[in-house]
Structures are given as C-alpha cells and as structure tokens.
A and B are shown apart, each in its own frame.
Chain A
Amino acid sequence: KQEVTQIPAALSVPEGENLVLNCSFTDSAIYNLQWFRQDPGKGLTSLLLIQSSQREQTSGRLNASLDKSSGRSTLYIAASQPGDSATYLCAVAHQGGKLIFGQGTELSVKS
C-alpha cells in the first residue's frame, strides 16, 4: 500500500530565505508526482507535475525534483515571500489514476 510522508509538518521562515520541503513515498512504481498548494478555506492548486521519467520541473521560484528509486521528492522555494504562506501537499499517482496525498507541510513566511 502506497504511503506518502511529508517532513516537516510545519515550517516558519523569514522572508527572503530559500527553503526545501520534503516528500517521501514507499512504492516507487508511480506514474507521476504533483505538488499542490492549499490556502486556508480553499481547494488545492497544482504547482508542478513531474512525470516518472523526469528528474525535475521548474516554475518561477519553484523547483521540484524527483528521485523515483529512492522514493523522494523535494520542492525548493527560492527567495520566499509572505504570499508563499500556505500548506504544500505532494501526491503520487499510479497508472490507474489514483492520487495518494501526503499530510502536507504548513509554511509560514514572516515579513
């Protein structure tokens, strides 16, 4: 059974700092991995999707990497801003379409 773990559960950093969020999964037979952002009281917004054959994806200040063999992904946020404060979730997909989510990392960026 696939299990997805995110560390840390919560993180507080000063504005401008670069930071890394971690995601690990137990079953490496994944189709893709996605990182999402969730603001309080809102749904999830997809940030980056990495196919199983890819090593990383970049969008603006965000960079996500995938090491399928070790069951790990990281989300790197450069030059963090208060507007980045949210909960970040990773999810792994298997070919049948099922997405399994981690518990999320709650990020607070202080100005």
Chain B
Amino acid sequence: DAGVIQSPRHEVTEMGQEVTLRCKPISGHNSLFWYRQTMMRGLELLIYFNNNVPIDDSGMPEDRFSAKMPNASFSTLKIQPSEPRDSAVYFCASRRQGPFSGNTIYFGEGSWLTVV
C-alpha cells in the first residue's frame, strides 16, 4: 500500500498568492482529515470528510481556507489569498471508518508551506 500521498511536499509562496495542497488517501479508506501543525499550536484539525462529505469544518480558520473532496481518492485544501501566518505543515490523514475497522488513522508526510 502506498500510504497517504500528499503534494507538494514543500512550497514557498508570496503573500497573496493562492496555494493548493493535494491529498490521495489510502484506497478503501472512507474518512479523510486535514490537520495543520505549528510549534505554537501543535496539531489542529481543520476539516474532515466521511464518504466524501464534509462532517466538521469548525477548525477552518477563516474564509480564506476551503477544502473539497470530489471523489473517494482525492482531496484539496486551498488557501486564497495566503498570508505569512499560514506558514505551517499541513497533514492529510485517512481512515477506514466502520464498526470492525479498528479505526487506526494513517498520516501522509505533510506539505511544508512557507508564505513570505
């Protein structure tokens, strides 16, 4: 299994530019999570999907952030316009949600975003 795949791994962009982060979950997993990690705030859940439907987006910091999951094998997290305080590592994670699945969650390697 290839695991959760994220792209890009690293991105440096200028303030005001649009940033799109991509995630391919593990095949067969039906829950997908976007997290942000910073030194100050640790790991914060931004949004998660079950069966491609957003369940809880209360962690999305503001309207500049949006996330989509058009199908079971792809999700995007978009920041428009980006600001320096958005600099962080963004993790995507997936899990097979169900009564007999064990509920172990698997993380991608992260997208390291720097906004200058």
Contact = CB atoms under 8 A, between A and B. Distances in A.
A104 B42 contact: yes
Contacts of A91: 43
Interface string A90-106: 01010011111111100
Interface of B: 4, 31, 33, 35, 42-43, 45, 48, 50, 55-56, 91, 93, 95, 97, 102-110
30 contacts: A32-B103, A36-B107, A42-B109, A42-B110, A43-B108, A44-B91, A44-B93, A44-B107, A46-B104, A49-B102, A49-B103, A89-B43, A91-B43, A96-B55, A97-B31, A97-B48, A97-B55, A97-B95, A97-B97, A98-B45, A98-B56, A99-B33, A99-B45, A99-B105, A100-B45, A101-B35, A101-B43, A102-B42, A103-B42, A104-B42
